[in-house]
Amino acid sequence: MINALHRNPVVVVLFLLVLSFILAPLAIATLIGFSSSPFLAFPPPGFSLQWFKRFFSDDAFMSGLDLSLRIAVIVTVAGTVVGVLSAYGLSRMKARMGQQILTAIMLSPLIFPVIVIALALLLFLSNFNLLGSLTGLIIAHLLIVVPLVISTVAAALAGLDKSINEAAASLGAGPWRTFGLIILPQVRGAVAGAALLSFLFSFNDVTFAAFIGGVNAQTLPLKLFGYIRYQLNPMIGAVSAIFIFSTLLVIVIFDRIVGFDRLVGIKE
């Protein structure tokens, strides 16, 4: 691909234009976070770290950050485990028609608009007094995260040689041992990518937080959404910069542990 870019100047120009289109808003938001101005202004009249200090000294934002991190970690771990096992179970089903029907049912939450699912969960969870609770938000996020993990891991499992299970069974390995020692290492890149996507979805969610969390359980994105309704200042840019740098840090860590090519599914 890189060689093709070097050979075709038109492709290079188009690539740079698309890259600029994607990165320009991120760069602007990051620079605004370092502004010394009390108002939103670009380019910044000066540079300061005051908005980062205000963010980390704000108890409301810190409580929202703590709640968002707790939910994201729990949802990522639980959703990845359930999703990976579900994808493996679906891949081993003998009945083709049954496999397709069950897969369609399990992936159906990805088809409906999130706001529709949030409204349905609002009506359902209200019967169990789970609105405005950590448990309610975890259930809501898992409804999207589990199908997301299933679809990602199932695609990787579909590319494996079907005779692996038969070969392992002929050597005396049971299903769980085959999965843990043979299958899982081969799809670890897809699992890592699914876990990363799950964490980012859960941490950045606003819709479920608004419907299910309400006033009692406000995550950081929901607090920010309410903040910008009444105040527009460079603190929003500072939070954006924190999110961007945190995401880059996570990607670098995954690259060191798993390998970026495996993380994005280029190699398995």
Q: What is the DSSP letter of 42?
A: S
Instruction: Specify the pLDDT at position 166.
Output: 66
**What percentage of the chain's residues is helix, strand, coil (to nearest 5)?**
75, 0, 20
Spell out, as residue ranges, where the chain has pLDDT lower than 50.
Answer: 1, 263-268
Give the start-to-end residue ranges of the domains of the chain: 58-263
Residue that the structure tokens 């075709």 belong to: 8
Which amino acid is it at 150? I
Instruction: Specify the pLDDT at position 157.
Output: 80
CA–CA separation, 220 and 56 (whole Å): 12
Instruction: Specify the pLDDT at position 266.
Output: 47
CA–CA separation, 210 and 118 (whole Å): 9
Instruction: Specify the pLDDT at position 41.
Output: 73
CB atoms within 10 A of CB 61: 18
Contacts of 62 (CB under 8 A, 6+ apart): 56
pLDDT in tens, 61-70: 888 889 999 9
CA-wise closest residue to 183 among 210, 205, 161: 161
CA–CA separation, 198 and 144 (whole Å): 9
Which amino acid is it at 198? S
Residue that the structure tokens 């100047």 belong to: 9
pLDDT in tens, 77-132: 999 999 998 888 888 777 778 778 888 888 888 888 888 898 999 999 888 888 88
CA-wise closest residue to 144 among 104, 117, 122: 117
Topology of 58-263 in CATH? MetI-like fold (1.10.3720)
Tokens of 249: 């840090």
Instruction: Specify the pLDDT at position 7.
Output: 63
